[in-house]
């Protein structure tokens, strides 16, 4: 098997039974915020645009590069579809001219002309843009798992498909937290340091669980070429930066010692044979090293090449073309009307601060959208109104996939992160919100119980449904789900990580001792 890195999460996988193009990303994403790092704008794409198969893990814009797919990738490719609830990958690709699809079932292996394939799909509202996935390939000699930036919670099917020879996985930041929050700097630095550590440690836990002897860090980090976001680049291995590059993670891998990590840049070819992986870079090794040791020079040169296109992109943003308040009222109030579980989950008001003329409240209590009249709001998002105008004009139903991941906003909140609030902004259509509502209702009675340290607790973690018989650890009366690091107080069920989750936990009463003869 030959695996060629195309940058970020992009790979071109060649087997004797067909080639697969995975998640190519060449154009900037999220309002010109994210660019692939290392730069791939000078890679010759010709060898990679006529694959037998195309796989897109999900529709986040750094994985679903619409312009590249439309303009360059052969429409004769057969698309391997993840088993996502709303079929967004297929819907988007059909608009681009793709017509050949193979629909997979979650975690069920299939044979595609002699190539064994399995896609593990995630379907919670918190997973990607209402769905994420990872790809398993078995060509008869090599087994590869492209986990990408999915976070599987079920491992039985993966264990049965394996053992894997090579594992591609995300390890670096793909979020706006905590950089955009208006926290005191010392607090923000502490939160960022924790985030940097935990995301790499999570990747290591996945690598250990999968057990492949070779791993390849991928799916990040992006780099930021816009002057407004340039500070987000991790130039000097800053312990408070959530975007460490692959060399930082590979040092952690080396320390762990249970697998061998491989560094790639766009154009790196990995020849994978049983027991071995041989990497060949497109440039001399010393020049590969300079990309990371002299990162500022690499990004500055990249920025100079991309600046005219970036300036044109920002100049194209709409300004004053839309009456924002009435447009949002007409759009969002019918969605709020359907959002029973979501509204209860948020149970607060959000102030959308778009400047002095556009102070807009999204009220999850009364389910209304109206001008701010001085009422208290627990949440506040401050952003350029042009971004909201763009989403209105183009009816973008997932603001996470456009505004939030761009990091082009500021956030304030009283209390903890609220998953329901951010999931709402992925669900700005009746179809999407109905799916999320159904998911929440379906999960509420999830009370399959297990015995743990003198308590009966629910088997599935309230966060992302990880199996606590596998990932639950108890110390000092605190249950930790080691898959994602969420913690719960055993005595009360209170979540110590977030205030919108609770663990069912009930102490097991000791049976009364049999009455003695002298009672």
Fold of 447-507: Rieske Iron-sulfur Protein (2.102.10)
- For residue 125, give every residue at least 6 positions away whose Cβ sits within 8 Å of its Cβ, in sequence order, or none: 423, 426, 427, 435, 436, 439, 440
Pick the more confident residue, 515 or 249: 249
What pLDDT digit, counting tens, does each position of 397-409 carry? 999 999 999 999 9
Determine the Cα–Cα distance for residues 175 and 417; give it in Å rounded to an integer. Answer: 13
Q: What does the pLDDT average to over 348-360? A: 96
Question: How does residue 206 score in pLDDT terms, banded at 50, 70 and 90?
Answer: very high
pLDDT value at 518 more than 60: no
Determine the Cα–Cα distance for residues 36 and 408; give it in Å rounded to an integer. Answer: 18
Identify the pLDDT of residue 448: 66
Longest alpha-carbon distance in the chain:
94
3-state DSSP assignment of residue 494 = strand
Structure tokens at 492: 């009360």
Q: What does the pLDDT average to over 456-476? A: 81
Options 3.30.1050, 1.10.3230, 3.30.70, 1.10.3860; CATH of 324-440? 3.30.1050
* Nearest C-alpha neighbor of 220 from the set 38, 11, 30: 38
Contacts of 109-114 with CB under 8 Å at 24 or more apart are: 109/136, 109/138, 109/161, 112/18, 112/53, 112/78, 112/80, 113/17, 113/18, 114/17, 114/18, 114/140
Handedness of CA 431, 152, 203, 268 (dihedral sign): negative
Determine the Cα–Cα distance for residues 26 and 361; give it in Å rounded to an integer. Answer: 37
What pLDDT digit, counting tens, does each position of 305-332 carry? 999 999 999 999 999 999 999 999 999 9
What pLDDT digit, counting tens, does each position of 268-305 carry? 999 999 999 999 999 999 999 999 999 999 999 999 99
pLDDT value at 478 more than 60: yes
CA angle 436, 440, 445 (to 5 degrees): 160
pLDDT value at 516 more than 50: no
By CB atoms closer than 10 A (0-12, 13-18, 19+), residue 372 is middle
What pLDDT digit, counting tens, does each position of 445-464 carry? 544 678 899 998 887 788 76
Among 97-101, 332-336, 432-436, 440-444, the minimum mean pLDDT is found in 440-444
Q: What does the pLDDT average to over 222-233? A: 98
Identify the pLDDT of residue 376: 95
Question: How does residue 508 score in pLDDT terms, banded at 50, 70 and 90?
Answer: confident
Question: How does residue 223 score in pLDDT terms, banded at 50, 70 and 90?
Answer: very high
Identify the pLDDT of residue 441: 72
What percent of the chain has pLDDT above 90?
A: 83
Contact 198, 152 (CB under 8 A): no
3-state DSSP assignment of residue 148 = strand
Question: How does residue 500 score in pLDDT terms, banded at 50, 70 and 90?
Answer: low
What percent of the chain has pLDDT above 70?
A: 96
> What is this structure's pTM?
0.86
What pLDDT digit, counting tens, does each position of 135-194 carry? 999 999 999 999 999 999 899 999 999 999 999 999 998 899 999 999 999 999 999 999
Structure tokens at 396: 């973008």
Question: How does residue 444 score in pLDDT terms, banded at 50, 70 and 90?
Answer: low
Question: How does residue 510 score in pLDDT terms, banded at 50, 70 and 90?
Answer: low
Fold of 2-311: Metallo-beta-lactamase; Chain A (3.60.15)
Radius of gyration of the chain (CA): 24
Q: Name the β-bridge partners of 22.
A: 11, 55
Identify the pLDDT of residue 173: 84
Which residue's entry shows tokens 């590059």?
245
Stretch (H or E) spanning 309: helix 295-315
By CB atoms closer than 10 A (0-12, 13-18, 19+), residue 510 is exposed
pLDDT value at 514 more than 90: no
Identify the pLDDT of residue 515: 34
The residue extents of the domains of the chain are 2-311, 324-440, 447-507
């Amino acid at each position: 098997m030959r695996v060629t890195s195309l940058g970020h999460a992009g790979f071109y996988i060649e087997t004797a039974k067909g080639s697969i193009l995975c998640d190519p990303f060449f154009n900037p994403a999220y309002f010109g915020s994210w660019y692939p790092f290392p730069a791939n704008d000078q890679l010759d794409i010709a060898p990679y645009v006529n694959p037998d198969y195309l796989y897109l893990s999900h529709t986040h814009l750094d994985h679903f590069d619409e312009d590249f797919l439309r303009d360059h990738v052969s429409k004769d490719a057969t698309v391997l579809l993840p088993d996502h609830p709303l079929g967004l990958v297929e819907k988007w690709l059909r608009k681009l001219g793709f017509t050949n699809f193979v629909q997979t079932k979650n975690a069920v292996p299939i044979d595609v002309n002699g190539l064994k394939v399995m896609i593990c799909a995630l379907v919670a509202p918190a997973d990607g843009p209402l769905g994420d996935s990872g790809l398993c390939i078995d060509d008869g000699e090599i087994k590869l798992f492209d986990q990408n930036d999915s976070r599987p919670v079920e491992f039985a099917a993966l264990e049965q498909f394996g053992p894997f020879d090579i594992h591609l996985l995300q390890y670096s930041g793909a979020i706006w937290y905590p950089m955009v929050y208006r926290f005191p700097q010392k607090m923000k630095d502490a939160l960022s340091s924790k985030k940097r550590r935990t995301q790499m440690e999570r990747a290591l836990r996945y690598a250990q669980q999968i057990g492949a002897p070779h791993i390849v860090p991928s799916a990040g980090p992006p780099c930021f070429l816009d002057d407004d976001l340039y500070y987000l680049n991790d130039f000097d291995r800053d312990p408070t930066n959530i975007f460490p590059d692959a060399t930082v993670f590979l040092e952690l891998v080396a320390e762990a010692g249970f697998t061998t990590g491989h560094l790639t840049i766009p154009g790196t070819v990995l020849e994978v044979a049983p027991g071995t992986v041989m990497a060949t870079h497109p440039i001399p090794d010393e020049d590969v090293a300079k990309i990371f040791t002299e990162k500022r020079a690499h990004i500055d040169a990249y920025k100079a090449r991309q600046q005219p296109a970036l300036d044109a992109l920002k100049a194209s943003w709409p300004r004053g073309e839309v009456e924002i308040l009435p447009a949002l009222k007409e759009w969002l109030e019918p969605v709020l009307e359907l959002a029973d579980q979501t509204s209860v989950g948020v149970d607060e008001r959000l102030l959308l601060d778009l400047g002095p003329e556009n102070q807009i409240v999204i009220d999850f209590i009364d389910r209304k959208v109206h001008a701010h009249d001085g009422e208290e709001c627990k949440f506040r998002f401050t952003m350029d109104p042009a971004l909201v105008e763009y989403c209105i004009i183009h009816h973008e139903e997932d603001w996470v996939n456009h505004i939030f991941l761009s990091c082009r906003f500021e956030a304030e909140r009283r209390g903890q992160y609220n998953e329901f609030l951010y999931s709402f902004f992925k669900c700005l259509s009746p179809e999407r919100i109905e799916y999320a509502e159904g998911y929440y209702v379906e999960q509420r009675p999830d009370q399959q119980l297990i015995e743990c340290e003198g308590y009966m607790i629910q088997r599935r973690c309230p966060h992302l449904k990880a199996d606590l018989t596998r990932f639950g650890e108890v110390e000092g009366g605190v249950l930790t789900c080691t898959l994602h690091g969420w913690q719960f107080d055993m005595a009360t069920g209170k979540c110590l990580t977030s205030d919108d989750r609770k663990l069912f936990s009930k102490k097991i009463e000791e049976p009364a001792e049999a009455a003695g003869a002298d009672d």
